[in-house]
Amino acid sequence: LKKINIALDGFSSCGKSTLAKALANKLEYTYIDSGAMYRAVTLYFLRKGIIDGDDVQEDKIDEALSELWIDFFYNPETGKSETLLNEENVENEIREMEVSRNVSRVALIKKVRTRLIGIQQIQGQAKGVVMDGRDIGTNVFPDAELKIFMTADTDVRAQRRFEELTKKGASVTLEEIKANLADRDHQDTTRAENPLLQAEDAYVIDNTNLTQEQQFEMALGWSMEIINS
């Protein structure tokens, strides 16, 4: 069977990773969470003091980037793919608020993007990859055989995120989440380097009124059509 690369881009909290994981699982492909890579770099910069309050120490970025390697491994204990930063499992730490608060700033830095895109392109060389992010179909794999762009109504995204977080015991309000989503959408779409953009040849999934199962069936249908063509 022919192996293809699948690029899955879209706004924050649109269910990209849920769909990407389900597809990768079904096709026996490798799932790569590119957002986790930006988070891992952010964690490294925080640890090294390169992010210092509101400052980013530009002169230390080159050295830091030359020292780090990001990889993923399948953890049989959790049944999930987890993120490694220089061989250390940082999967939980990169989801913490401190990293979430700083990651958009780090994702703006051109040198960071160049380095991560380089790693991502190596990971895609052998094909059989489902990668989710913001610029995968436009910059990382412009030749991906299948590109999907996901979107959903902001209120619906906020409501889903609210339910997810409150289920985990976080005390947040729906208003806070809406404001945070609007802020991230703005940052993602307006940054100078590789902004979130729908590739011309992307299939669009607006999942405002779709179940996970319906989205999966659509994406799997497109994938099989291309794999069998």
What pairing do the DSSP bridges indicate for beta strands 30-33 and 51-52? unpaired
Give the range of 47-55, 57-65, 69-77, 131-139 binding ligand DC by CB under 6 A. Answer: 131-139
Q: State how far the Cα of 179 lies from the Cα of 170, in Å rounded to an integer.
A: 16
Give the range of 23-31, 82-90, 127-135, 203-211 binding ligand DC by CB under 6 A. Answer: 127-135
Looking at the Cβ atoms of 165 and 227, the one nearer to ligand DC is 165
Using only the alpha carbons of the chain, give its radius of gyration: 17
Half-sphere exposure of 122 (CA within 13 A, CB side): 8
Q: Count the site residues for ligand DC by CB under 6 A.
A: 14
Q: State how far the Cα of 207 lies from the Cα of 215, in Å rounded to an integer.
A: 7
By the 8 A CB rule, do 204 and 151 touch? yes
CB of 24 to ligand DC, least distance (A): 16
User: Which of 18, 81, 102, 104 contacts ligand DC by CB under 6 A?
Assistant: 104
Give the range of 58-66, 99-107, 166-174, 211-219 binding ligand DC by CB under 6 A. Answer: 99-107
What pairing do the DSSP bridges indicate for beta strands 30-33 and 129-133? parallel
User: Which of 7, 11, 12, 45 contacts ligand DC by CB under 6 A?
Assistant: 12
Looking at the Cβ atoms of 82 and 135, the one nearer to ligand DC is 135
Give the range of 134-142, 170-178, 197-205, 210-218 binding ligand DC by CB under 6 A. Answer: 134-142
Residues 39-78, mask of contacts with ligand DC (x by CB under 6 A)? x---------------------------------------
Looking at the Cβ atoms of 115 and 134, the one nearer to ligand DC is 134
User: Which of 134, 147, 157, 161 contacts ligand DC by CB under 6 A?
Assistant: 134
Alpha helix segments (H runs only) across the chain: 16-27, 34-47, 61-67, 97-106, 110-124, 154-167, 174-190, 212-227
Q: State how far the Cα of 2 lies from the Cα of 80, in Å rounded to an integer.
A: 25
By the 8 A CB rule, do 93 and 99 touch? yes
Residues 170-199 that bind ligand DC (CB under 6 A): 184, 188
Looking at the Cβ atoms of 197 and 227, the one nearer to ligand DC is 197
In the sheet that 88-89 helps form, which strands lie side by side, from edge to edge? 70-75, 80-85, 88-89
User: Which of 38, 44, 72, 222 contacts ligand DC by CB under 6 A?
Assistant: 38
Q: State how far the Cα of 110 lies from the Cα of 26, in Å rounded to an integer.
A: 35
User: Which of 30, 135, 146, 205 contacts ligand DC by CB under 6 A?
Assistant: 135
Give contact residues for ligand DC (rule: CB under 6 A).
Answer: 12, 34-35, 38-39, 103-104, 107, 133-136, 184, 188
